[in-house]
Copies of this chain bind each other. A is one copy, B any other.
């Protein structure tokens, strides 16, 4: 099992969600984070113009069975992208075990 963490533009979220749905990745969690990176956003507040790299992003945490990994990455790379600086990152790491709380199922079964 792998954990895919994707940090994407908030504005791309609906598209990404739709696309994940189509490849039957219907399980994940997400929340809003502030991202620091290459992109800069111009702000003005009470006469102070400034450019900040602290930008609102959406953080998706998706745990998938190994054979789902590639297609999920593909979909994310495709739908979350605009080609402009600030599209975000995807991180993949290993998950040792998964449980479904309701049924106590373990492993890949818990991800179905």
Query: Footprint of B on A, CB under 8 Å?
Result: 1-3, 5-8, 17, 26-38, 53, 57, 59, 61, 63, 73, 76-77, 80-102, 104, 110
Contacts and interface: CB of A to CB of B under 8 A. Distances in A.
Contact of A77 (B28, B81, B104): B104
Given A89-B99, A98-B91, A36 B31 contact: no
Contact of A101 (B53, B59, B89): B89
A17 B34 CA distance: 13
A2 to B, nearest CB: 7
B29 A7 contact: yes
Contacts of A3: 91, 93
